[in-house]
Amino acid sequence: MRSLLLACGLIATTQISHTQIFLPSQTAGQTEVPDIGSGVGLLDQQKEKFIGEKVYRQVHRQMPTIQDAWLEDQFLQVFSGILSQTQLGQPIGLIVIKDPQINAFAVPGGLFALNTGLITSAKNLDEIAGVMAHEIAHVTQRHYSRSQEAFKGQGLLALAGILVGAAIASQADGDVGSAVMMGTQAALIDKQLSYSRNQEREADRIGMQFMYAAGYNPQSMADYFETMHRATSRVSFLPDFWLTHPLTTERMSEARLRANQLPRVKSKIYDLDFEILKWYTAVTSNQANEIQLLALANQKNTAAQLALSKFYLEQGDYTQAQANLDLVKNRLKSHVLVPLIQTDIYLGQNKLAQAHDAISSIQKTMPENRALSYKFAEVLIRQGQVAQAQSLVQRFIHKNQRDIQGWALLQRAANLDKELPLQAVNVLCYRAEVEYWSGYEENAIKSLLHAQRLAKGNMAMSAKIDARLKQMQDDRRRKI
């Protein structure tokens, strides 16, 4: 498993022009990859899920994650598409980290995390897919498991800790402008480095197979390598820790050669959806400023105009947010962000009836869209329609119990439901889930212990709390 790290400047200092994005081709079935055997370090699926969930909680606690259902699901769709070409099964989740540096990593069990800097630096979605595919290949080839043997006696959770720690360290060191592949083996002694370089080349090769099979342009992986190389060439100092995983000209040449051997994927000059995604990310992560957005918006750049509406919304300037949203409504009639931003503008103005009208119809036509459902639930909670809001959210919680945003909405709804039996118990249970998946395991256990005391006399509720409490306590003590 590897992390891709590249320190970069804020997007506010970068001119973004019309970019090229490639249309996915249709490819059925899974990609065949070499059988690496069943070495001593291989993890079973249950252990991998535990590792993935542990890292999920660590990242949420230790790093500035963005809680945005629409943004998360855009990249989860890409991640899931690539995972479908493997034998790894369903993903645990995807985390967007608020950090301008380029950084991404995959974890056994189906977890992927990426920095906003990776999104804003990419020219198209295929480049991001290439990074995802590379990281997923590290997992499918069990590089994480094989690395355990090099860390004898330290355990797999120690390796996971190194991964998260490296990401945090990169965030703290903004002066290092380097582009390198790195990961859990970065602390290995020199005689073991050739092994990790071979892993990088293997991940390049197999990752390209995955991304192509999922419908993405393999040339974009080679393109992104060249972007990384150009950034590295402008750096005068690289720490030894990162020099252990260089992006060599050999790797770049091999990537381009492999991409050229695959059938050509059709492309189009400009992709509005990706530009919207890119600029929305820039605003959400504070990587775009008003002057930059205005300059592009004055050129009738639709993505910038929509992003400017989001920018003013976050500033609390609802008049300007509405004015900029009105400019693009007719051009983006079917884009989900339009009703999402419109609803937030009305909520900010406490216009609850208008907010309800803005979101309810489209949510009913797209009931499986998590962002729309959660925004509608937020409106319903503000209107005091607690039961309907809870019903909307619980459908998604049943599919993914690690959904922090969903649990937070349920907690808000329960807080308002004064007539609900054992209201305080429900609030504490929902709060415990928010705390647990946010990485505050001790606080979550305390919340459940409090709920346990309040639920005495209700056998069904007590049994449910006891079971969840035991699971949290066991996971917290568990060692691998």
What is 375-433 written as a DSSP string? Answer: HHHHHHHHTT-HHHHHHHHHHHHHH-TT-HHHHHHHHHHHHH-TTSTTHHHHHHHHHHH
The pLDDT value recorded for residue 184 is: 34
Does 236 reside within a domain? yes
Binding site annotation covers 200?
yes
Q: How far apart are CA 118 and CA 104, in angstroms?
A: 8
Residue type, 86: T
112: left (phi over 0), alpha (psi -120 to 50) or beta: beta
Spell out, as residue ranges, where the chain has pLDDT lower than 70. 1-43, 144-195, 231-246, 267-269, 480
> Global pTM?
0.82
Q: And the tokens for 3?
A: 């992390």
Does 139 reside within a domain? yes
53 catalytic residue (yes or no): no
Instruction: Compute, in degrees rounded to 10, the torsion defined by CA atoms 173, 175, 180, 185.
Output: -30
Does 35 reside within a domain? no
Return the percent helix, strand and coil in the chain, to nearest 5: 60, 5, 30
Work out whether the CA dihedral 466, 467, 471, 477 comes out positive or negative.
positive
The pLDDT value recorded for residue 165 is: 57
Active site residue: 48, 53, 127, 204, which one? Answer: 204
Q: Indicate the helix (H) or strand (E) that contains 19.
A: none
- Taking residue 256's Cβ as centre, other Cβ atoms within 10 Å add up to 17
Does 233 reside within a domain? yes
Does 478 reside within a domain? no
* Strands 102-107 and 2-6, bridge-based pairing: antiparallel
Does 11 reside within a domain? no
Strands annotated E in 151-203 = 179-183
The pLDDT value recorded for residue 28 is: 38
202 catalytic residue (yes or no): no
Residue type, 333: K
Residue type, 336: V
Q: And the tokens for 209?
A: 């197979």
Binding site annotation covers 134?
yes
3-class DSSP state of 21? strand
Q: How far apart are CA 357 and CA 374, in angstroms?
A: 15
For residue range 142-177, what is the model confidence (pLDDT) as tens digits?
776 655 555 444 455 555 555 555 555 555 443 332
- 414 vs 51, 144, 226, 381, 382, CA distance in Å? 31, 41, 52, 9, 12
Number of domains present in the structure of the chain: 1
Q: How far apart are CA 476 and CA 62, in angstroms?
A: 17
Does 279 reside within a domain? no
For residue range 331-363, what is the model confidence (pLDDT) as tens digits?
998 999 999 999 999 999 999 999 999 999 999
Does 116 reside within a domain? yes
Q: Which domain holds residue 121?
A: 42-170+178-261
Active site residue: 48, 127, 135, 378, which one? Answer: 135
- 192 vs 185, 189, 204, 269, 465, CA distance in Å? 9, 6, 19, 44, 48
The pLDDT value recorded for residue 113 is: 93
